[in-house]
Amino acid sequence: MTAAVLAAVLGTVLAGCSSTGGKRAEERAAREAAAGGRAAVNTPKWTFAMVTHSGDGDTFWDIVQSGAKQAAVKDNIRFLYAHNEEGKEQSQLVQSYIDQKVDGLIVTLAKPDAMKAVVKKAQKAGIPVITVNSGSEVSKAFGALTHVGQDETIAGEAVGDELNKRDRKKALCVLHEQGNVGHEQRCDGAAKTFDGKMEKIYVEGTNMPDVQSSIEAKLQSDKGIDTVLTLGAPFADTAAKAADQAGSKAEIDTFDLNAKVAAALQDGTLGFAVDQQPYLQGYEAVDLLWLNRYNADVLGGGKPVLTGPQIITKDDAAELASYTKRGTR
C-alpha cells in the first residue's frame, strides 16, 4: 500500500520534470566553463561606487555591472552600485556616496543638469569621477577624469550607413522610452546618414503586448516600411513577432545584445545588432579608476573613450552566443 502510494507520488514528480532545457542544462554548461575570481593586485581595498540612471529591471545595466564587478574582483576593489531613473534621486544617491567618502565614483549623465552640482562636489571632496554610457559632451566640462561609452549620435549614424549598405528604403525607429535623450539621438543619427525615409514610433516599454500591437498597427498602415529598428534588445524579438502578425517582410535590426538577439541573428530573424559593449563600460570604468588611484593614469586625453558602435551580424553571432548566455555581452 505505502509502496504503491510512494510509487504514484514518485511517478507524478518524475512526470513533472522536463528533460530538455531548464536549470539542469545551464548547470551542465557552467561546469564546463568554471572560473574563479581572485584579486590580481595587492593595492589597498578601495571602495568605488557606481550610480546610474537605469530604471528597475534593465538587462543592459546588468551587463555593465557584471563588467564592473569582475574588474573590481581583479583590482581588489569593494564595488557599490545604486540606480534611479529620476535625475534628482540619482544626484542624491551620488551625494550619499560622497558622504560615505568612497575612493572613486562612476556616474552616468543622462540628465546632465541634475548631476552637474553633485559631480563638482565630488571633485571638491577629492573623489575622482569617471562618467560612463551617456554624457560624453559634458563629461569634461563637469570635471570628470574621462568618459567611457558610446556616442549615441555616432552609433545612430553607423546604423544609417549599414541600412544603406543593405539597400533599405523606409525604416521605422521604435522608441521605448519617451523623453530619453539618448534614444532620440540614436534615431536622429540614423536618419542623418540613411538615404531612405525614417519614421519614429513611441511604445510603452513596460508593456510588451502594447509594443507588439503598436508595431503591428504601424506596419499594417504603412506597407512601405522595410526595416524596423528597435533601441533595446528585449524589443527586437517582439518586433519580429509583430512583423510576422502583420504579414510584413520588414527586416528587424536592433541596438544592444542579449542571448535571444544572438540566437535570432544566427537563425536570420534579425538583420544586425549594434553593440555598445556595456560590459566594457563597467569594466573599463573600474579599471581606469584603479589605474588613476594607483598610477595617476588618465585615458582618452580629454576625449571620450568609445566602446561602440560595433555592428554584429550573423557571422559574429555564433561566437558571441555563449558570452550573451553568461551575461557578459
Partner 1 sequence: MSAEAPPVEELASRQPVRGSLPRRLAGRPELGAVVGAVAVFVFFSIVAEAFLQWSSFSTVLYASSTIGIMAVPVALLMIGGEFDLSTGVLVTSSALISSMFSYQMTANVWVGAGVSLLATLAIGFFNGYLLVRTNLPSFIITLGTFLILQGCNLGFTKLISDTVSTKSIADMEGFPSAHKVFASHLTIGDVEVQITVLWWFALIALATWILLRTRAGNWIFAVGGAKEAARAVGVPVERTKIGLYLGVALAAWISGQHLLFNYDVVQSGEGVGNELLYIIAAVIGGCLLTGGYGSAVGAAVGAFIFGMTNKGIVYAQWGADWFKFFLGAMLLLATLLNWWVRKRAEESK
Binding residues for partner 1, rule: CB under 8 A, are: 15-26, 55-59, 61-62, 178, 199-202, 204, 206-210, 212-214, 216-218, 220-222, 234, 237-238, 241, 245-247, 258-260, 327
- The enclosing H or E element of 275 equals strand 270-275
What's the min distance (Å) between Cβ of 174 and partner 1?
10
What's the min distance (Å) between Cβ of 178 and partner 1?
7
Q: Which is nearer to partner 1, 111 or 218 (CB)?
A: 218
Q: How far is 272 from 252, CA to CA, in rounded Å?
A: 8
CB burial readout 112-127, b (16+ within 10 A) else e: bebbbebbeebbeeeb
Q: Which is nearer to partner 1, 55 or 196 (CB)?
A: 55
What's the min distance (Å) between Cβ of 146 and partner 1?
28
Q: How far is CA 120 from CA 51, 140, 311, in A?
A: 15, 11, 36
Q: Which is nearer to partner 1, 22 or 302 (CB)?
A: 22
Q: Which is nearer to partner 1, 46 or 81 (CB)?
A: 81
Beta carbons of 273 and 256 less than 8 angstroms apart: yes
What's the min distance (Å) between Cβ of 297 and partner 1?
32
What's the min distance (Å) between Cβ of 115 and partner 1?
22
CB burial readout 295-323, b (16+ within 10 A) else e: eeeebbeeebbbbbbbbbeeebbeebbee
What's the min distance (Å) between Cβ of 252 and partner 1?
15
What's the min distance (Å) between Cβ of 35 and partner 1?
15
Q: Which is nearer to partner 1, 193 or 213 (CB)?
A: 213
Q: Which is nearer to partner 1, 141 or 217 (CB)?
A: 217
What's the min distance (Å) between Cβ of 63 and partner 1?
8
Q: Which residue has the cell 545612430?
A: 156
In single-letter form, the type of residue at position 202 comes to Y
Q: How far is 262 from 242, CA to CA, in rounded Å?
A: 19
291: exposed, middle or buried (C-beta count within 10 Å: 0-12, 13-18, 19+)? middle
Pairing between strand 310-312 and 270-275? antiparallel
Q: Which is nearer to partner 1, 1 or 15 (CB)?
A: 15
Q: How far is CA 111 from CA 16, 35, 86, 91, 154, in A?
A: 49, 37, 8, 10, 19
In single-letter form, the type of residue at position 304 comes to P
- Grid coordinates of 116: 552637474
Q: Which is nearer to partner 1, 222 or 319 (CB)?
A: 222
